[in-house]
Structure 1
Amino acid sequence: MKLKQLAIIIPSLLLPVSSVMAQEYQSFSSIGYTNYDSKRSFDSTGVGTTYFFEKQQTLGPLDQLKYINTSSNVFGNYLHTDNSDNFATGGSLFIDNFVVGGSYSYSDYNSGSSDSFSARVGYLISDDLIVNAYANKSEGVDTDYSFSASYNHQLAGKDYIGFTYHSDDEFDYQTLSSKYFRALDGGQYLVAGLNYQHNDDYDNDLSGNVAFYFNDKTSVAASYDDDDNYYIVAKHFFNQNYALSVGYQSNASDDAWSDYDIYSVNFSAQF
């Protein structure tokens, strides 16, 4: 698996009931810094925000929401690296059981620029099952089409196990991912996930991740894949609104070409 620019969202097992009251938020914003140290080293700084038209209720941990989003939303983000500036904006609109969405991104490099568009049409079969079709058009290349289906199986209380399948229109590239959320005794929580990728042109990839919440505000998480890439992150909410996370990613193999270190720090706010 080729190393891709990291955008890990930590996906983010006895008693289903927690004594922590759920919180509600409509906006989620963050600013972060990342240092990439490999054959070519560089830094990046990013800022982004997402606004939901309806309040989102947490599942206990302040950064865990339900598996399938059913609320209209808009987002925007900006990422600066040593040789580029990248902008993106978009959103999704739910009308009854239908959802339409789209996004636009623009990148300005030292050697030029490029932009891309995406469109989404979906149908919410139920609050626990949604199907989507996508079209993605990047400058200078043909439009790519794909589709996905996500299913949430509700367990006791707020516990659940969710599955998402995604494929291009020719089934050359397919992914199947799962996420398991469960409240533990004493106000603690466990989140675990698996991700399998099939690509006709490359090796298949398998990765897993796990996060343990000491309470609703403090957590540690890690991920590992079959190419020996791993990631570790710790996150803490200082109160109901502000949090800081620090992360480290590297490769555990002895291959010099796979050697890299990525350090990141992120400050987030949600209201």
Structure 2
Amino acid sequence: MKKTLLASLVTLTSFAACANEYQSISNASYTDIEDNEIVSIDSVYYFDARKALGPYNEFSYINTKSNIGAFYRDNEYLDSIGVRGEYFFNNFVAGANYSRTDSDWSDVDSYEASFGYLFTPDLIARIHYRDTDVSGSDGSFYATAQYNLSLNTTDYVGFTASVDDEFDYLSLDTKYYAELGQGRYVTVNLDIDAGDFDHWSLGSNYYFNEGLSVFASVNKSDDIQVGGRYYFNTNWALSGSYGTNLDDDLDYDMYQINLTAQF
């Protein structure tokens, strides 16, 4: 009896290290920031399954699977809805997205199209064009490139660079992923924006196993967030987090809960 109970507890808190593949990932979240309630739903469907690297929510840094997605977000002041998609053919990729934001003071339609080339499985570059229907606003181009540096059979460092057509804005996002052994993993993200608006953010996830993790982040504005994520099985996860600002003058309380479904 004791052995059976112990085995059941182990099953609930850990998962077998196996390759899990998913074609759809959906999230429903609720956020409360100083009595401003935000409800958000998003979903993406991949035409070919993506394989998890170990943790059920970690995948290859560069996605090469055609996909479609949609989102909806609502709060006290406005609501937004959008759709997007990417199609890979040979080594080319074409993408498009559309979103609409409705508020008490204005309604805005936003559009974006992109075209890119996959030079290798570890390097992809795109040219983007975005525009809105806001009066007096002109469309603009920007370019992005992603590179995956494999450190060994499991670990990598990923880089994403973005620059606008007038070089007024430049961003560099990096991600480090490592397997620590005994079913444990860690990620570290550093995002830097330069140009007319300088900003940075630093975050990390620590995985006790494939389905149980904690995370934390901080940015230049002294916003911090801490939380945890637990997968009940390979398909369903629940996460929660708390956020605030370290500056007493900007102090706030943010609570967030998120339900994830992936199949």
Using the size of structure 1 for normalisation, the TM-score is 0.88
Query: Does 2:255 match 1:270?
Result: no
1:67 is the counterpart of 2:61: yes
Q: Could you tell me which of 114, 124, 136 is aligned with 1:120?
A: 114
**Root-mean-square deviation (CA), in Å?**
1.4
Cα deviations by residue, 1:179-226 (Å, 9 ceiling, x for unpaired): 0101111100010121111023x3x22221111000000100111122
Q: Which residue of 2 aligns with 1:22?
A: 19
- From 140, 145, 148, the counterpart of 1:149: 145
What one-letter code is carried by the residue in structure 2 that aligns with 1:27? S
Letter in 2 for 1:45: V
The one of 143, 154, 172 aligned to 1:176: 172
Q: Which residue of 1 aligns with 2:4?
A: none
**Sequence identity (%):** 36
Equivalent of residue 84 in structure 1, options 64, 71, 78: 78
Say which one has the larger Rg: 2
For 2:188, the equivalent position in structure 1 comes to 192
Q: Which residue of 2 aligns with 1:233?
A: 227
Q: Distance in 2 between matches of 1:102 and 1:242?
A: 29
Kindly indicate whether residue 130 of structure 2 is the aligned counterpart of residue 133 of structure 1.
Answer: no
Query: What number of residue pairs does the alignment pair up?
Result: 247
Picking from 199, 202, 220, the partner of 1:208 is 202
| Paired residue secondary structure (1:184) | strand
Pairwise CA distance, 1:159:
1.1
In 2: Cα distance, 1:246 partner to 1:113 partner: 32
Q: What is the one-letter code of the residue matched to 2:166?
A: E
The AA in structure 1 aligned to 2:148 is N
When the two structures are superposed, what TM-score results if normalisation uses the length of structure 2?
A: 0.91
1:249 aligns with 2:243: yes
Structure 2, gaps ≥5 residues long: 1-15
Indicate the residue corresponding to 2:161 in structure 1.
165
> Which of 28, 37, 46 does residue 40 from structure 2 map onto?
46
- 5+ long unaligned stretches in structure 1: 1-18
Distance in 1 separating the partners of 2:80 and 2:193? 27
Q: Alignment partner of 2:182: what SS?
A: helix
Q: What SS is found at the alignment partner of 1:178?
A: strand
Higher RCO (C-alpha 8 Å, min separation 6): 1
